[in-house]
Chain A
Amino acid sequence: MTPLAKLLEAALFASARPIPSDTLLHLDAEATPAGVASALDEIREHYDNEGHGVELVAVSDGWQILTRPEYTEAIERAQLAARPQRLSGAALETLAIIAYRQPIGRLEIEDIRGVGAGAILKSLQERALVDVVGRGEGMGRPLLYGTTPLFLEHFALRHLGELPRADELTVALRPALAQAS
């Protein structure tokens, strides 16, 4: 590996959180964005081609070394690390609505889901997956919610554009219409 690739690998190894591309660039005064990109490619190929137990993953405008899924069970069985709790269906629904409609107020979320959202919003906010991003114009200037960088990290997304576009959603009940008409 090139010296820059080794330097980036060391930095990525030392960090518990994804390192933004900017920060990687500043690790070496003489590095260029293109140089960093090719060094990252080099690390990724190194891990993939030589059969490493870890891989380089692009997450939320940054890069992170993660273990490969096939070793998760063994690691967890040995209690070296524990998987985080899964989010409930209600929490995922709320997150989905916020991700697509942000900034969005509580009432609008409740209207779509048909149930109260106060407690779920609070717990999502405590987990730093969503945050208040502003206030609406309506009555009482309601709080508006949006997703956080940690949301992207939680789902290993680089940006919100990686979620399916609205017109890509199938709306599964539509075939029934075709049969009826």
Chain B
Amino acid sequence: MTSANVLRNPAVAATEELDGALTSGFVVELPEFSGPLDLLLTLIRDEQVDIYDIPIARIAEQFLARIHGMRIDDAAEYLEMAARLLRIKAQMLLPRHDGMEAWEDPRAELVRRLLEYQQVREVVDVLERLGDDRRNRFARAYVPMQVESSMPDDRPFAASLADLFAAVDRVLRQAARPLVHDVIPRALDVDGAMKSIREVMSLRARARWSDIVSRDAEPWQILSVLLALLEMAKSGELRIAQPKPFACMELSGDTVS
């Protein structure tokens, strides 16, 4: 099993026209190499050497020369590859006996990776061509309709009196709408409340708030009773006392005390 089958088939179907693109030698201009394998492959191609019999010493030397000017942050992966090349070079120099069957070419793993990477580059060429084809076609760009800007600004403004009235009417109608509720001023009935308090106090000596104000009283009634009580206390008609903190107020007629 060689490295040529590293990439699995994406699916059964295939298109014949892609063959042409593969052989046409689409030139990709990269600002820099996309990795150490890319650089290595470029060197091998430039030097026109056989990938299965790479002259390691020469390629390693050129590889080092090319990465010499690189920024150090980018260089880590390239340095690793440089080290790998030098190791392979050293292994190649080790003496080996002619009869040794088991000798494994130290370059084999590198060749496998290079071929694998070469396949990726070929697919990249195809993707690049397809991507450029698509980039050169525009789809409909959906833009949400802007109702407000439908009238061009550069036309002189023209409106009849009726338009103006209609506009004013529209503005006023809109202005009135935000009023959610009307506040209707309602006069407090303090006199009425005093009357009903007197009625209660005439029946019993002591009374509490809950005796005077019914449970479902409206705010205006409560306020009326409160003002009436204060008024009556002020005039000495009744007394308001609190037996202990937070306890209910007790009302008592002045006559009792």
How many residues from A make CB contacts under 8 Å with B?
59
Report A-chain residues with C-beta under 8 Å of the C-beta of B130.
Answer: 155-157
Q: Would A169 and B119 be within 8 Å (CB), given that A72-B137, A176-B50 are in contact?
A: yes
Q: Which residues of B contact A166 (CB under 8 A)?
A: 4-9, 119
A168 partner residues in chain B, CB cutoff 8 A: 14, 18-19, 22
B135 within 8 A of A: yes
Q: Is the pair A164, B35 in contact by a Cβ cutoff of 8 Å?
A: no
Instruction: Name the residue on B nearest A157 (C-beta).
Output: B130
Chain B residues near A49 (CB, 8 Å)? none
Q: Is A45 an interface residue (CB 8 A)?
A: no
Tell me the bound Cα distance from A65 to B36 in angstroms.
42
Q: Decide yes or no whether A128 CB sits under 8 A from chain B.
A: no
The answer to whether B13 touches A159, judged by C-beta atoms less than 8 angstroms apart, is yes
Minimum CB distance partner of B21 in chain A:
A164
Binary CB contact string for chain B from 1 to 30 against chain A (1 if under 8 A, 0 otherwise): 000111111111111001100110000101
Residue from A72, A116, A171, A177 with most neighbouring chain B CB atoms (10 Å)? A171
Q: Is A52 an interface residue (CB 8 A)?
A: no
B-contacting residues, A66-111, CB 8 Å: 66-69, 72, 75, 81, 83-84, 86-90, 92-93, 95-97, 99-101
Q: Which residues from chain A contact B120 at a C-beta distance below 8 Å? A: 93, 96-97, 112-113
Q: Are A99 and B123 in touch, CB under 8 angstroms?
A: yes
Q: Do residues A169 and B122 form an inter-chain contact, with CB atoms below 8 A?
A: yes
Q: Would you list which residues of chain B between 64 and 94 have a CB under 8 Å from chain A?
A: 77, 81
Answer whether residue B233 sits at the interface, using C-beta atoms and an 8 A cutoff.
no
B9 near A114 with CB under 8 A, answer no
CA distance A114 to B30 in the complex (A): 17
CA distance A161 to B18 in the complex (A): 12
- Determine whether B168 belongs to the interface, using a CB cutoff of 8 Å to chain A: no
With both beta carbons as reference points, the residue of chain B lying nearest to A109 in the complex is identified as: B120
Task: Tell which of B97-105, B139-147, B172-180, B186-194 binds the partner.
Answer: B139-147
Bound-complex Cα distance A168 to B17 (A): 11
Q: Which of A14, A84, A114, A159 has the most CB of B within 10 A?
A: A114
Chain A CB within 10 Å, residue with most, of B23, B35, B115, B116: B35
Does B51 count as interface, using CB distance less than 8 angstroms? yes
- In the complex, chain A residues whose CB is within 8 Å of the CB of B209: none
CB distance from B137 to the nearest CB of A (A): 4
- How far does the alpha carbon of A180 sit from the alpha carbon of B111 in the complex, in Å? 15
Write out the residue numbers on chain A whose beta carbons fall within 8 Å of the beta carbon of B150.
Answer: none
A97 to B34 CA separation, bound complex (whole angstroms): 14
Residues on A with beta carbons closer than 8 Å to the beta carbon of B210: none
Residue of A nearest to B41 (CB): A173
**Given A164-B18, A171-B115, A65 and B123 contact (CB-CB distance below 8 Å):** no
With A93-B120, A113-B34, A173-B115 given, is the CB distance from A65 to B131 under 8 Å?
A: no
User: Could you give 26 example pairs across A and B, Cβ below 8 Å?
Assistant: A65-B140, A66-B139, A88-B34, A90-B35, A93-B120, A99-B10, A112-B116, A112-B117, A114-B36, A115-B34, A159-B13, A161-B11, A161-B13, A163-B123, A164-B14, A164-B19, A164-B123, A166-B5, A166-B6, A166-B8, A166-B119, A168-B18, A169-B22, A171-B118, A176-B51, A179-B50
Q: Which residues of B contact A (CB under 8 A)?
A: 4-15, 18-19, 22-23, 28, 30, 34-38, 41, 44-45, 48-53, 77, 81, 113-124, 126-128, 130-142
16 extra interchain contacts, Cβ-Cβ under 8 A, other than A166-B119, A180-B52? A13-B140, A72-B137, A72-B138, A86-B131, A89-B34, A95-B127, A112-B113, A113-B117, A115-B35, A155-B130, A156-B134, A159-B13, A169-B119, A169-B123, A170-B23, A173-B51
Identify the 8 closest CB pairs spanning chains A and B, nearest first: A161-B11, A161-B13, A16-B142, A96-B123, A66-B137, A160-B10, A115-B35, A69-B136
